[in-house]
Amino acid sequence: MAELHPEPIVPVRIYTWVFLALLVLAALTTAFAYVDLGIFNTLIAMLIATCKMLLVALFFMHLRYKAGLSRVASIVGLFWLGLLVVFTLADVFTRNWTPQGKPW
């Protein structure tokens, strides 16, 4: 059913703090790239990117202030992408678990 209350107007101060946080995170992720931490480089980079994504989505895109359906749409999109990635990688990574099949 339709909401009868228009969504709240987010104050400028919140947008400003979010923006500054985003700049800091961007600088952080750039800095980390100059340090060789092996597998953790990718992990940290993705973690920071996800934090930035959440800041933009929750505050700039107002997901924090909205009813469920918009959140459901975004979560479903991400989950479905996850499906594609996980199942594809599951194939790619298990191909070498069996030796090449003998001819029929």
Partner 1 sequence: MSTAVVERPLYNPVNYLNVKHTLKSWLLTTDHKRIALLYLGSITMLFFVGGFAAMLMRLNLLEPAGAIVHPETYNKLFTMHGIVMVWFFLIPSIPTTLGNFLIPIMVGARDLAFPKLNLLSWYIFIFGSAFTLYALVSGGVDTGWTFYTPLSSLYVTTHVMAAAAGVFITGFSSILTGLNFIVTVHKMRAPGMTWFRLPLFVWSMYATSVIFVLATPVLAITLLLIGLERGLHVGIFDPALGGDPILFQHLFWFYSHPAVYIMILPGMGVVSELVAAFSRKRVFGYKAIGFSSMAIALFGFFVWGHHMFVSGQSVYAGMVFSALSFAVAIPSAIKVFNWTATLYKGSISFDAPMLYALGFIGLFTIGGLTGLFLAALSVDVHVHDTYFVIAHFHYIMVGGAVMAYLGGIHFWWPKITGKLYPDVWARLAAVIIFVGFNLTFFPQYLLGYLGMPRRYAMYPAEFQMLNVMSTAGASILGLGYLLPLVYLIWSLRYGPDAGPNPFLATGLEWEETQSPPTTHNFEEIPVVTQDAYAYENMGIPNV
Partner 2 sequence: MSDTVAFPGAGNPHAGNRNPALQEQFEHIEQQRDASNFGIWIFLATEILFFGGLFTTYIVYRMIYFPGFVSGSHLLERHLGALMTFVLLGSSFTMALAVHSIRLGKRKLVVLFLILTILLGVAFLGVKFTEYYGKWNEHLVPGIDFHPSANDLQGATPQSVELFLCFYFFMTGLHALHMIVGIGLLAVMALLTWYGKITAEHYNRIEVSGLYWHFVDIIWIYLFPLLYLITGNRH
Using CB under 8 A as the criterion, which residues of the chain lie in contact with partner 1 when the complex forms? 2, 69, 76-77, 80, 83-84, 87-88, 90-95, 97-98
Q: C-alpha distances in angstroms, 26 versus 37, 38, 61, 102?
A: 18, 20, 19, 52
Establish if 43 lies at the interface with partner 2 (CB under 8 A): no
Range list of H helices, 3-67: 12-32, 39-55
3-state SS track over 54-94: HHHHHHHCCHHHCCHHHHHHHHHHHHHHHHHHHHHHHHHHH
Q: How far is the CB of 35 from partner 2 (least distance, A)?
A: 8
Total interface residues for partner 2 by CB under 8 A: 54
Which amino acid is present at 74?
S
Establish if 57 lies at the interface with partner 2 (CB under 8 A): yes
Residue with tokens 């995170």: 25
What residues line the site for partner 2 (CB under 8 A)?
2-6, 9-10, 12, 15-16, 19, 22-23, 26-27, 29-30, 32-39, 41-42, 45-46, 48-49, 52-53, 56-57, 59-62, 66, 69-70, 73-74, 76-78, 80-81, 84-85, 88-89, 92
